[in-house]
Amino acid sequence: MYDHYGSGCISSVLASKSRPVFWLADAQAIKVVATDKATFDKDMDFYSNGMLFFGPNIIASDTSTWKRHRMISNPAFNESVNGVVWKETAKAVKNWFSELDSRTNNSDGEISIHTFDSFSTLALTIFACAGFGSDGATPITELRETLRMAFHHSAARTSLPDWVFDLTNRIHIPFLSPYLRKTIGVYEALDQMCMKAVSEVRADVLLEKSNSTTGGALLRNLVKANMDVDGEQDEKERGQRSLTDRELVSNMFLFFIAGHETTANALSFVCAFLALYPDVQRKILDEIELIWPNGVPEDVAEAEYKNAFSRLTYTTAAFYEALRLIPIVSRLGRMVLKDTVLRTYRLNGIGDPEPYSVPMKEGSEIMIDMAAVHRNPIYWGADADEFKPERFVDTDTYRWPRDAFLAFSTGFRDCIGRKFAAVEGANVLARIIRRYEILVPKRLRDMPFEEQKAYLSKWRPFVTNSPVYPEVTFRRRS
């Protein structure tokens, strides 16, 4: 559409709400929308429907409320969490590999992998440990199981309004009532666990238990950041700057929802691309062998994270490049708060962008179209559809504006878990590639490359974009 109309902005009318919608494939215009707090804000109707049942939180809040949540959360996502993510990822992958070993008994040594299921389990385990502290006061297996159930029931919990749950509680509707009662039960259990974990962690922090297993974990950091603000303020200011226990729990749940499925889907797509591009796998293997000539260590300390992660540049680039081609969140909505004019571009006859202005009325909607920006040849060149991790490494040859990579959004509401996801993603990939060759599934091998690619990279849009065919094959390297 952007090509067809030769513009970085196209408009449509949302019939259901009778308002204009401006779609943007222009990175500079998006930057303005994402940074000008006075003129643009999130479409809160969209978020508040399904995200507030645990209480107010960072994602489902307008800018004024959001500031308090972000101020406490920012210091919580610090380098100590990344160290814990690094260590817990190594542990989780080791257990997963043991399970794969027990499945490899066929003669060709190939194992078929359901990528989303595998990475979803991994991401869940890693979040449970790095989020709450491995073997903290709340038993990690119990917590992980409850998070897993919460994830399975999340579509129902976030898409149905509260009155549906009330109704099905009072009137028995076959199949639906039992399922929704179970949903409520799971979320109540998770809520209780999280509230208990908050009090336990607070007690830990007060006693300055230095040997605590929750050290460095996200929840402990969050509670601590909140207590630091508490300590600084008088009674009146405290309420305005710190978070209540309910808000802390709501945010932890949000971190889980925002971080779990996104990372699992991203890893699924990277594996699909790696299966299609063995030369990229080779380069990742070269990088890994340089860092760990004697094999990737199975048990790692948190302190090793900084040195090792910063050297996994090509591996991390492969993670980002897959996210460029298939952004897990492909569009974000914003509301226009007051009449404004947005500068964007249109293409003149010979395809050069020239600036022009689009007037926008208060109440209009904007769609930040990450999927379109990520394949816009103005930024990424004629080979924008190709999988080339080099773009994120060799930035002299591959020149693109920093604002044109939007997988983690941009501006003041960008993803707070970007590094968390990258540390986990690069670590998982390095370990897989060192041990296995990733191949396209056997039954696709006779297909031409373009058909394989179309098949494995086919995605379905939902809350986040997931692969339609989440499958690859692993073959153990000799």
Residues interacting with ligand HEM, by CB under 6 A? 58-59, 70, 254-255, 258-259, 262-263, 266, 323, 328-329, 332, 407-409, 413, 415-417, 420-421
Measured CA to CA, the distance from residue 446 to residue 209 in angstroms comes to 60
* Residue (226 or 262) nearer to ligand HEM, CB: 262
Using CB atoms, what's the residue nearest to ligand HEM? 417
CB of 417 to ligand HEM, least distance (A): 2
Taking the complex as a whole, the smallest distance from the CB of residue 80 to ligand HEM amounts, in Å, to 14
Of 369, 361, 303, 315, which Cα lies nearest the Cα of 337?
361
Give 158 or 409: the residue with its C-beta nearer to ligand HEM. 409
Pairing of strands 365-369, 19-24: parallel
How far is it, in rounded angstroms, from Cα 352 to Cα 349? 8
Pairwise CA distance, residues 290 & 292, whole Å: 6
Within 8 A by CB and 6+ apart from 307, the residues are: none
In one-letter notation, the amino acid at residue 199 is: S
Burial of 351 (0-12, 13-18, 19+ CB in 10 A): exposed
Residue holding tokens 């091998």? 445
- H or E, element range at 346: strand 340-347
Q: Of the two residues 26 and 41, which places its CB atom closer to ligand HEM in the complex?
A: 41
Smallest separation, CB 58 to ligand HEM (Å) = 5
CA 105 to chain centre: 34
Chain mean position to CA 168:
33
Nearer to ligand HEM, 74 or 95 (CB): 74
Q: Which H or E run includes 97?
A: helix 79-103
CA distance 465 to 468: 9
Residue pair 20/364 in contact by the 8 Å Cβ criterion? yes
Smallest separation, CB 445 to ligand HEM (Å):
29
CB within 8 Å of 371: residues ≥ 6 apart: 327, 330, 331
Task: Closer to ligand HEM by CB, 8 or 131: give it.
Answer: 131
CA nearest to 429, candidates 299, 322, 293? 322
CA 78, chain centre distance (Å): 17
Nearer to ligand HEM, 388 or 413 (CB): 413
In angstroms, give the least distance from the CB of 385 to ligand HEM: 20
Q: How far is the CB of 314 from ligand HEM (least distance, A)?
A: 18
**Least gap, CB of 424 to ligand HEM (angstroms):** 7
Question: What amino acid is encoded at 139 in this protein?
Answer: P
Question: Which of 5/412 has CB closer to ligand HEM?
Answer: 412
CA-to-CA distance for 241 and 226, rounded, in angstroms? 9
CA distance 306 to 57: 30
Amino acid at 133: G
Count each helix (H run) and each strand (E run) in the chain, helices first: 20, 12
In this complex, which beta carbon is closest to ligand HEM, that of residue 254 or of residue 433?
Answer: 254
The distance of closest approach from Cβ of residue 386 to ligand HEM in the complex, given in angstroms and rounded to an integer, is 21
Round to whole Å and give the CA distance between 418 and 414.
9
The reply to whether 415 sits in an annotated binding site is: yes
Residue type present at position 288: I
| Residue 207 beta carbon to ligand HEM: minimum distance, rounded to whole angstroms | 27
| Helix (H) or strand (E) segment spanning residue 474 | strand 471-476
Alpha-carbon distance of 367 to 332, in angstroms, equals 6
Question: Closer to ligand HEM at the Cβ: 250 or 452?
Answer: 250
Closest CA to 285 of 412, 437, 93, 144: 437
Which of 285, 463 has the CB closer to ligand HEM?
Answer: 463
Cite the annotated binding site for heme by residue number.
415
